Amino acid sequence: MPEQSSSAAAVWSDPEFARAWLGADPQGAGDLLELPRRIAAGLVAEETPAPGLVVDVAGGAGKFLSVLLDAFPGARGVWLDVSATMLDRARSDLARFGDRVDFLMGDMTALRAAGVPGGADVLLSSRASHHLGRAELHGFYREAAGLLAPGGWLVNLDHIAPDDALWDRRYRSVRTRFTPPRPAATAHHHDGPLPTVRDHLDGYRAAGVNEVDIAWKAFYTCLFAGRTAGA
């Protein structure tokens, strides 16, 4: 497992940390990321009205996957994460989908080895790839793109590093009005700088997903969406 990825995996595998993070994660109307999750489902629906398989990588409690499974009642889900605490929580939060969801334990930098099947209509991830360095991120996108069906969607909702000091200052000051800082016990260390927008867009293109855009952005969080060439 690559170094940055394995260090992040160790942090999230600590049950105390994972439970504290889950407890502090905003729910309901306070969860600003519900909008980009729904935008992602809407984009998929426009061109892929009946996806058969949705894979959520580093799925945590399964928030993103549940939006897609609600939007597409005929879809099956595959949930993957490295944390046993997240597995327990996802099994409980996704229980209403019954046997539509398969749960896999594994690392996001080794998807095939973890048993993620090919032919996915949507492979998504959220708030996890910022743990990867540029080379790891590109490796993740390459493997993820290879697991997509023709015309499949690669969707990533994640935090990015600012690459402009002026905008960083502006965002930093305004952001706290919308997203209060998390409790210290849930703050997690990052081994390297977060990937930039450019790192993500380059990664999509290097993986052959040339049709990519930032479908939503607020402060330091972006919804990257791209579709592979059709059949």
> How many Å apart are CA 60 and CA 65, to the nearest integer?
10
Q: Which is nearer to ligand SAM, 63 or 76 (CB)?
A: 63
> How many Å apart are CA 33 and CA 102, to the nearest integer?
24
CA 220 remoteness from chain centre: 14
From candidates 5, 66, 156, 228, binder to ligand SAM by CB under 6 A: 5
Residues 154-213 that bind ligand SAM (CB under 6 A): none
Q: Which is nearer to ligand SAM, 121 or 158 (CB)?
A: 158
Contact window for ligand SAM (CB under 6 A) among 44-52, 125-133, 164-172, 191-199 = 125-133
Q: Is 133 in the site for ligand SAM (CB under 6 A)?
A: no
User: Containing H/E element for 22?
Assistant: helix 15-24
From candidates 41, 54, 68, 108, binder to ligand SAM by CB under 6 A: 108
Q: Is 107 in the site for ligand SAM (CB under 6 A)?
A: yes
From candidates 76, 131, 138, 227, binder to ligand SAM by CB under 6 A: 131
Q: Is 221 in the site for ligand SAM (CB under 6 A)?
A: no
User: Which residues, other chains included, contact 197 with Cβ-Cβ below 8 Å and sequence gap of 6+?
Assistant: 160, 163, 214, 222
User: Which residues, other chains included, contact 97 with Cβ-Cβ below 8 Å and sequence gap of 6+?
Assistant: 66, 69, 77
Q: Which is nearer to ligand SAM, 126 or 228 (CB)?
A: 126
Per-residue DSSP letters for 197-230? HHHHHHHHHHTT--EEEEEEEETTEEEEEEE---
From candidates 126, 156, 221, 228, binder to ligand SAM by CB under 6 A: 126
Q: Which is nearer to ligand SAM, 8 or 101 (CB)?
A: 8
Phi, psi of 164 (to 5 degrees): -140, 115
> How many Å apart are CA 221 and CA 95, to the nearest integer?
29
Q: How many residues bind ligand SAM (CB under 6 A)?
A: 20
Q: How many residues does the chain have?
A: 231
> How many Å apart are CA 9 and CA 148, to the nearest integer?
24
Residues 43-82 that bind ligand SAM (CB under 6 A): 58-61, 63-64, 81-82
From candidates 83, 156, 221, 228, binder to ligand SAM by CB under 6 A: 83
**Using CB under 6 A as the criterion, which residues of the chain lie in contact with ligand SAM when the complex forms?**
5, 8-9, 12, 58-61, 63-64, 81-83, 86, 107-108, 126-128, 131
